[in-house]
Structure 1
Amino acid sequence: MTLSPKTLFLTDGLGAVLSAFLLGVVLVRFAPISGMPETALRLLAIIACVFAVYSLLCYTFIKERWIAYLKTIACANLTYCCLTIGLLINYKKELTNLGWIYFLAELTVIIVLLSFELKTAFIRAGKEQQVPS
């Protein structure tokens, strides 16, 4: 199953806005509850803001040749997941149960989204390269 590129860009953009808000406002205010240091939360929030701008601009302006843009945000999401996992490993002793729940839930959502992004990009790219018989 694939989704339309516009749906994926919009979903990614709105999800990144939500992540930026939760990380940069909610969790920073209650940093001891999650156990993740404020500097790490702010870093993740800034990255989420950049991803939100990118995805929402793609949603608004990209009409054709969207495959490369979709692959780009999928790879960026994968990099974000790797960074988050690195932070989880680095701060594993400080993280609370609520912190683990939040970050594992966020990772799960992002991984599901990026799998749809990659599947859509590669399936559509394959169809565009097929030569009609």
Structure 2
Amino acid sequence: MNKIINNLINHSSEKPKTLFLTDSLGAILTAFFLFVIMRLFNEYFGMPKTVLTYLSVIVIWFCIYSSACFLFLKGRWTPFIRLIGIANLVYCVLTVGLLIKHYPLLTIIGTTYFLIEIVIIC
């Protein structure tokens, strides 16, 4: 497992543009899942639909940011990578807060989804 993580880190540091592409694709997938799938099948997840909407809007902004960085940045990647990294960590903290706040409403599937999302982002 450590070897896989080290390979990912090495690859990302050698090709930072790929990191932005990966982040934008992950963000669009997350937004689709939050706004479409989880809203349609809300009884299986339990998170209020308004919360899902707000989270999907945040993630769409992350997607736009990462896509713009992927398409337009030619150098000086570090501050932009740092910014999206901090934004993703803040999103994770927000998600943990929402898990705690809405825990009585969440199903096991909903809780599991958000915990897995946090692990993947981190």
Superposed pair shares fold, TM > 0.5 = yes
Equivalent residue of 2:106, what SS? coil
In structure 2, the residue matched to 1:85 is 96
Amino acid corresponding to residue 59 of structure 1 in structure 2: F
Candidates 59, 63, 86, aligned match of 2:70: 59
| 2:42 matches 1:31 | yes
Q: Deviations over 1:68-89 (max 9, x none)?
A: 0000000000000011000000
Task: Look at both structures and tell me which one has the larger radius of gyration over its CA atoms.
Answer: 1
Q: What is the CA–CA distance in structure 2 between the aligned matches of 1:37 and 1:31, rounded to whole Å?
A: 8
Candidates 14, 23, 33, aligned match of 1:22: 33
Candidates 18, 24, 29, aligned match of 1:13: 24
Count of residue pairs brought into register by the alignment = 111
RMSD: 0.7
Unpaired segments of 5 or more residues in structure 2? 1-8
Give the C-alpha shift of residue 29 in structure 1: 1.1
Q: What is the CA–CA distance in structure 2 between the aligned matches of 1:39 and 1:87, rounded to whole Å?
A: 12
Structure 1 segments of 4+ aligned residues over 2 angstroms from their partners: none
Amino acid corresponding to residue 41 of structure 2 in structure 1: F
Q: TM-score, normalised by structure 1?
A: 0.81
| 2:115 matches 1:104 | yes
In structure 2, the residue matched to 1:129 is none
Where relative contact order (Cα < 8 A, 6+ residues apart) is larger, the structure is: 1
Unpaired segments of 5 or more residues in structure 1? 112-133
